[in-house]
Chains A and B, each alone.
Chain A
């Protein structure tokens, strides 16, 4: 009996000490479902910069990024299964579907692989989730508009890609916000697919049927296109909430200099991929990390515009990248 207790104690000590285990022989893979817009490109660049540095510093042995070609859940499930076969120690995942990858994620967990999902998170309980409060991102826009327009009025909502849960969540937030501020009503909704050209076409198509619009709630990547459509139709420019893309910030600055235009801009920093990388590294290191982490979104107000515009590359997205300390800060905030 005594030896058993002793053994248990020793094991406890060993696992406790493992918190500073060496991860230099560990290999991490990034499974990404889509790379076709500026946000995803910036996300992959952030990964390349941070994870690449970590590899050359010897923190981990490899940090390879894989992107599926067709943004399909079945294709990504196959990709994850291939990563299991390739013997990666951790898989960082931006998922095509929160549920359709559960089977593959479960296989990975069963094989002893650490799975960290971010942005497009997965529901499978064995995985870590770095989520953004998308609903708040929607309701914050209406709160901001309520502050600017106490009299209320008709709003136009630009949605993202139909059938993707991020689109549902942001839209739910926007509609909750409108319900809480009855002076507003949503006069129309269009799908802008998070792309300027699609948003411009969709807004141009619905504008003739709309009353005067005082504000536009967006999901990011669609604000500049909406502005173009309003300008082309010769209508008064409403307050368009922007989404941190460089062309949107550029347009905002031009409008501000020309006629004192005021708005705000909100989106997720693509550098969240680097947070996911460090979380995976920390879990491999043996650190206690809660399964659900929340990452704040990046909001730019009128006062921060010039600085944000300066640091955002042309065609890019305003960004924050995480280093190990910042990631540990996020983890300890979530643990307490």
Chain B
């Protein structure tokens, strides 16, 4: 491991630890099984969306439709999956395939992903409103059970975050498939010369991102027990910020799955921290931005030194 890789993962861990210590100091009640679960359970869908966004960023693109897509999945989960499970799961699978097709389209026609995904965000939003014109629906029983399970010793939210980080790490950093995807972000042309089809690879990357985004929407419904068409619109920016906070870079191929999950946790915790501080909401968005910039500045500083 090079020192640069160390700093990539060390800084997110450090920012999370500092923030967690501050929250415990402000609100000792949070330092319990129940408290940790309350602090972090809404971070689980954010973490899944962040991993999805990370995969897209890893291949050198950016996904502006993440929030709308997760909302759409939430609407499908809260309606079709409950009323007609067969059709519901088929719709979710089709959504993943649609994501893969988008990836193929972006590569084959050399379209800018930022424009395609921006356009798709309106498509997903429209479909979500069609499915669920007014807020409602219900969570499938098994999903609710999974999201509210109370394992001994460690709360669900912490276990789930660790599992997501591990799964993403294995797929992206340890499998040969992951190496190919990172290569696609780093240098697509050389991959093409080596005989790999960039279209198929980008489709696979987007499909994988779609899978994590679908899991995110389902986890969200499991927590909220219902959906509405606007439920996850914040996730677009949250997921991008989470990836960057967790050590990823917009230059393709440089990401950290574990960091991305920690980044998502940090962002969620930052919201609680600011609310415990009793900061006026007008300042909260700004303060969240300041935390983000502070972490990025620290990374730049340490990154330089390490180099």
Q: Does B228 contact A (CB under 8 A)?
A: yes
Beta-carbon contact of A163 and B134 below 8 Å:
yes
B150 to chain A, nearest CB (A): 11
Beta-carbon contact of A85 and B135 below 8 Å:
no
Q: Does B38 contact A (CB under 8 A)?
A: yes
Q: Does B295 contact A (CB under 8 A)?
A: no
Beta-carbon contact of B271 and A78 below 8 Å:
yes
Q: Does A313 contact B (CB under 8 A)?
A: no
| Nearest chain A residue, comparing its CB with the CB of B35 | A85
Q: Does A301 contact B (CB under 8 A)?
A: no
Beta-carbon contact of B38 and A85 below 8 Å:
yes
Contact pick for A100, options B30, B224, B268, CB 8 Å:
B224
Beta-carbon contact of A106 and B276 below 8 Å:
no
Chain B residue contacts of A85, Cβ below 8 A: 27, 29-30, 35, 38-39, 272, 276
| Nearest chain B residue, comparing its CB with the CB of A32 | B281
| Nearest chain A residue, comparing its CB with the CB of B285 | A69
Which B residues from 118 to 154 make CB contacts under 8 A with A? 129, 133-137
Beta-carbon contact of B281 and A165 below 8 Å:
no
| Nearest chain A residue, comparing its CB with the CB of B29 | A85
| Nearest chain A residue, comparing its CB with the CB of B273 | A82
Chain A residue contacts of B235, Cβ below 8 A: 74
A273 to chain B, nearest CB (A): 16
Q: Does A323 contact B (CB under 8 A)?
A: no
Chain A residue contacts of B225, Cβ below 8 A: 99, 102-103, 106
Beta-carbon contact of A162 and B228 below 8 Å:
no
Q: Does A77 contact B (CB under 8 A)?
A: yes
Chain A residue contacts of B135, Cβ below 8 A: 97-100, 163, 165
| Nearest chain B residue, comparing its CB with the CB of A123 | B226
- Give the total of A residues in contact with B, Cβ under 8 Å: 36
A67 to chain B, nearest CB (A): 5
Q: Does A84 contact B (CB under 8 A)?
A: yes
Beta-carbon contact of A66 and B38 below 8 Å:
no
- Give the total of B residues in contact with A, Cβ under 8 Å: 40
Chain B residue contacts of A168, Cβ below 8 A: 133-134
Beta-carbon contact of B134 and A165 below 8 Å:
yes
Contact pick for A69, options B45, B230, B281, CB 8 Å:
B281
| Nearest chain A residue, comparing its CB with the CB of B139 | A103
Beta-carbon contact of A107 and B38 below 8 Å:
yes
Beta-carbon contact of A100 and B233 below 8 Å:
no
Beta-carbon contact of A78 and B229 below 8 Å:
no
**CA–CA, A156 and B230, complex, Å:** 27
Beta-carbon contact of A66 and B275 below 8 Å:
yes
User: Provided the pairs A69-B281, A74-B231, A103-B223 are in contact, do residues A86 and B276 lie with their beta carbons within 8 angstroms?
Assistant: yes
Which A residues from 86 to 102 make CB contacts under 8 A with B? 86-87, 97-102
* Residue with the greatest number of chain B CB neighbours at <10 A, chosen from A73, A100, A103: A100
Which A residues from 54 to 78 make CB contacts under 8 A with B? 64, 66-70, 72-75, 77-78
| Nearest chain A residue, comparing its CB with the CB of B132 | A163
A210 to chain B, nearest CB (A): 25
**CA–CA, A163 and B232, complex, Å:** 14
* Residue with the greatest number of chain B CB neighbours at <10 A, chosen from A79, A99, A101: A99
Beta-carbon contact of A70 and B134 below 8 Å:
no
Contact pick for B223, options A68, A72, A77, A84, CB 8 Å:
A77
Chain A residue contacts of B228, Cβ below 8 A: 73, 97, 99-100, 163
B153 to chain A, nearest CB (A): 20
Q: Does B244 contact A (CB under 8 A)?
A: no
User: What residues make up the interface of A, taking CB atoms closer than 8 Å to B?
Assistant: 35, 64, 66-70, 72-75, 77-79, 81-82, 84-87, 97-104, 106-107, 111, 123, 162-163, 165, 168
New contact pairs (6) apart from A97-B135, A99-B225, CB-CB < 8 Å:
A72-B233, A74-B45, A74-B234, A100-B135, A103-B223, A163-B133
User: What residues make up the interface of B, taking CB atoms closer than 8 Å to A?
Assistant: 27, 29-30, 34-35, 38-39, 41-42, 45, 129, 133-137, 220, 223-235, 268, 271-272, 275-276, 278, 281-282, 284-285
For this complex, 22 residue pairs linking A to B, each with C-beta atoms less than 8 Å apart, are A35-B281, A67-B281, A69-B281, A70-B285, A73-B224, A78-B268, A78-B271, A81-B39, A81-B272, A82-B275, A85-B272, A86-B27, A86-B29, A99-B136, A99-B225, A99-B228, A100-B228, A101-B224, A102-B225, A162-B129, A163-B133, A168-B133
